[in-house]
Amino acid sequence: NAGVTQTPKFQVLKTGQSMTLQCAQDMNHNSMYWYRQDPGMGLRLIYYSASEGTTDKGEVPNGYNVSRLNKREFSLRLESAAPSQTSVYFCASSNGPNSYGYTFGSGTRLTVV
């Protein structure tokens, strides 16, 4: 089915470890986003990519890096995981200037111990 695919679905890391969350969309969308969701906090934007080759910081970028590998793929990297990064991470995409609705992936539940 068309949509946004995130891997892995679950991950446990030790403090200081690194990992990359993968996201791919097959809808030919221009823009892609990474959000984190914490209880009672709603979703907060970490980084976004308006189009292939560009990335920008969102509301909570510290401790993260991103790569827009091509039009389909947008990865999120934690270089040195901290317990405060325990969260559910969502990738989303949208079709740029003429479309406002986002399509979300099913999320990655990350626990840092």
Partner 1 sequence: SQQGEEDPQALSIQEGENATMNCSYKTSINNLQWYRQNSGRGLVHLILIRSNEREKHSGRLRVTLDTSKKSSSLLITASRAADTASYFCATGKDSGSARQLTFGSGTQLTVLP
Give the three-state DSSP class for 97: helix
CB of 15 to partner 1, least distance (A): 26
CB of 104 to partner 1, least distance (A): 4
CB of 16 to partner 1, least distance (A): 28
CB of 113 to partner 1, least distance (A): 21
Our CB check for partner 1 shows the closer of 48 and 64 to be 48
Q: Which residues contact partner 1 by CB under 8 A?
A: 4, 31, 35, 40-45, 48-51, 54, 56, 58-59, 90, 92, 94, 96-97, 99-107
Our CB check for partner 1 shows the closer of 62 and 100 to be 100
Cis peptide before 83 (omega within 30 of 0): no
Q: Which amino acid is at 91?
A: C
Query: DSSP string covering 20-88, please?
Result: EEEEEE-S--SEEEEEEEETTTEEEEEEEESSTT--EE-S--TTEEEEE-SSSBEEEEESS--GGG-EE
